[in-house]
Structure formats: C-alpha cells, structure tokens
C-alpha cells in the first residue's frame, strides 16, 4: 500500500501559504513521498462501524497563488491512510468533538492521528495551562459575577477571555473601576459561560511568545507576537508583529514542565503561549508559526514532526 497522509483542515482555497502551518506540513509530506489527501470539510462520517471521509489527492507547490491542484473526490475508509493530521481551527464546537470521535474510531483501526483525538477533546486550550499552575500567572475561571469582580479588585488590572476563542477574539483588558466592567462580564458569562481572568502581564509589550513543542521537545526559537499601536493583544490575527527569538532559560523550563506529559498524551505538535515568564495557553488543535520560524532561522519544523510521526509508524 502506497503511503498516504490525510489532512483535516479548513478550506484549502482560503489559506495564506506564506504563513499557513498546515500547508508546510503538507509540503513536507509530499517531499517525503506521501500521497497527500485533502479531506473535504464536513465529510468525516461512519459507515457500518468504519471511519470514512471524502478525500482528494492534492499536489502542492510552494507558491503564493497557484499552490495546489486537486484530483477527484472519493469517499474512502480512513484506514486506507497511515496518518491523519487533524488541523481544524477552533472553536471546539459539538461538530468538532464529533469529528474527533470519528477520528478515535480511525485510531482503533490502526491510523495514527496527530494530535490524538482524545487529547483534542480533553485539553481545552485555556484550561490545559492550569494543569501546570507553577507556570501560570494568577488565574480565575468562573461564571460567578461576584468571584470575577473580587478577582479584578484583588489584582487591579486583568485580562478576560472566553474559553473557546482563538486569534485574540473577545479578549478584554479590564482595570479596576472600568465603567464597562459589568457589560464585559455580562457578555462573557452570557448563558452561564465560564470566563477566564488572568492578572495582566505588562511584559506583553515585548510580545506573546509562541513556543512549539514537537513530540515533547521545544523548537529552540519562538515567535514573539508584539502588539502594535494602542492594541494590547499580540495575536497575529489582531495585527501583532511576529519577531523570532531564541528561547530563554525560563522558556525552556516551562517547555520541560509540559513536554513529557504532552508526549504521553499523544500530543505530538503543540504551541505554548508564554508572556514574560508565564504560560497562558496550550494550543493543541492547530498550532501555527512554523512558516515564520522556518524562514527566519532556516529551520524545517515540519520535518521534525514527520520524523516523530514516522518513528511511531515504524513501531506500529
């Protein structure tokens, strides 16, 4: 059987190749001789107890505009491929959870799924960081207005965010006495939603660092996403500027706290968000920044990941 990798991702037609990590992974798979199969969005399904998907083989070219050609769609069992890359962006909706349950069925049929579907279900990207409180700033997760207000009163300057966002969406900075306090908290806790508050870290001015872990080991460089103008968010999607930097001693320490555990959970490719000396998020669904770091430091991070994937396939 010719080796093949299937990629579950958002529509390939809408990506920006110069910064799309899924595209980097697909290029690396193609370089290694894999058939690269693009999974039609929304096509994961189960037939007679078997995980299936509608897929088309793609040929990739590292070009800004004419970057892929696609073959015919065919519905096949996922067990016909050696590995599946689950790269669907958040939010983690019911549909996302159901897709991971289908991918868990594919796992039982011998397919390597990266990252492991169980971990994608269990590890909320905000809450997962709190499994390592020694790495985190003071944090509260609550839906109680009284508790949230008390935390703000204690720390004076906090960042508030929902548990299911990405790219800086719906993140607020709140200071004690803010006239918008009530409406912000009412918005974030609407319908009984949990809200995360963290003490504001002024080191955000120097960037929100994205540290990539491949099979538990940190890439020795991070991408610091630096807020621009009067924006306090560093997310690239919110206009932040990406600047590559070597990891600090503290960055390596944080990576060492999480790396072995994440490897045990089958999380082969993870992005840690670190502001100053503190871990703020653990990104497991579709970590990014590979293209930027590769370009700035002459790396091949996708190659490191495929080394880890192939080591597991060899053991299977």
Cβ(159)–Cβ(198) below 8 Å:
yes
Which one is catalytic: 283, 291, 292, 294?
Answer: 283
Active-site residue flag, 233: yes
- 295 part of the active site: no
CA–CA gap between residue 270 and residue 284 (Å, rounded): 5
Asked about 32 being catalytic, the answer comes back as no
Indicate which residue of 87, 88, 116, 161 is catalytic: 161
Catalytic site includes residue 210: yes
Q: Which of 35, 88, 116, 225 is catalytic?
A: 225
- Which among 88, 199, 233, 291 is annotated as catalytic? 233
Residue 281 is a catalytic residue: yes
Catalytic, 283? Answer yes
Catalytic annotation, pick one of 35, 87, 116, 126: 126
Q: Which of 116, 210, 215, 291 is catalytic?
A: 210
CB atoms within 10 A of CB 265: 18
Distance CA 160, CA 197 (A): 5
- Residue 187 burial (CB < 10 Å; 0-12/13-18/19+)? middle
| Catalytic position from the list 251, 273, 292, 294 | 273
User: HSE (CB half, 13 Å, CA atoms) of 255?
Assistant: 23
Catalytic entry in 208, 215, 281, 294: 281
> Is 62 assigned a catalytic role?
no
Phi, psi of 77, deg, nearest 5 = -70, 140
H or E segment and range at residue 8: strand 4-9
- Annotation says 47 is catalytic: no
Q: How far apart, in whole angstroms, are the C-alpha atoms of residue 266 and residue 260?
A: 10
Enumerate the active-site residues. Answer: 126, 161, 210, 225, 233, 273, 281, 283
């Amino acid at each position: 059987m010719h080796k093949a990798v299937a990629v579950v991702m958002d529509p390939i037609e809408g990506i920006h190749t110069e910064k799309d990590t899924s595209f980097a992974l697909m290029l690396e798979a193609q370089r290694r001789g894999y058939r690269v199969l693009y999974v039609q969005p929304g096509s994961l399904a189960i037939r007679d107890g078997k995980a299936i998907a509608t897929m088309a083989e793609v040929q990739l070219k590292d070009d800004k505009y004419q970057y892929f050609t696609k073959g015919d769609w065919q519905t096949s069992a996922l067990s016909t491929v050696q590995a599946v890359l689950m790269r669907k962006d958040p939010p983690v909706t019911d549909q996302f959870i159901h897709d991971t349950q289908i991918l868990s069925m594919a796992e039982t049929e011998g397919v390597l799924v990266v990252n492991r579907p169980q971990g994608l279900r269990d590890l909320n990207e905000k809450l997962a960081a709190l499994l390592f409180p020694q790495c985190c700033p003071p944090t509260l997760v609550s839906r109680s207005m009284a508790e949230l207000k008390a935390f703000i009163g204690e720390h004076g300057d906090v960042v508030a965010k929902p548990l299911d966002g990405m790219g800086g969406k719906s993140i607020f900075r709140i200071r004690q006495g803010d006239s918008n306090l009530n409406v912000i908290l009412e918005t974030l806790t609407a319908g009984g939603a949990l809200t995360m508050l963290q003490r504001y870290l002024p080191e955000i001015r120097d960037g929100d660092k994205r540290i990539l872990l491949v099979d538990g080991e940190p890439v020795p460089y991070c991408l610091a996403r630096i807020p621009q103008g009067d924006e306090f968010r560093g997310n690239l999607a919110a206009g932040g500027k990406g600047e590559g930097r070597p990891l600090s001693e503290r960055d390596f320490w944080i990576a060492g706290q999480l790396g072995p555990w994440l490897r045990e959970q089958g999380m082969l490719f993870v992005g840690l968000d670190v502001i100053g000396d503190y871990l703020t998020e653990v990104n497991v669904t579709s970590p990014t920044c590979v293209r930027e770091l590769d370009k700035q430091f002459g790396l091949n991070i996708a190659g490191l990941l495929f080394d880890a994937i192939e080591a597991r396939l060899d053991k299977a």
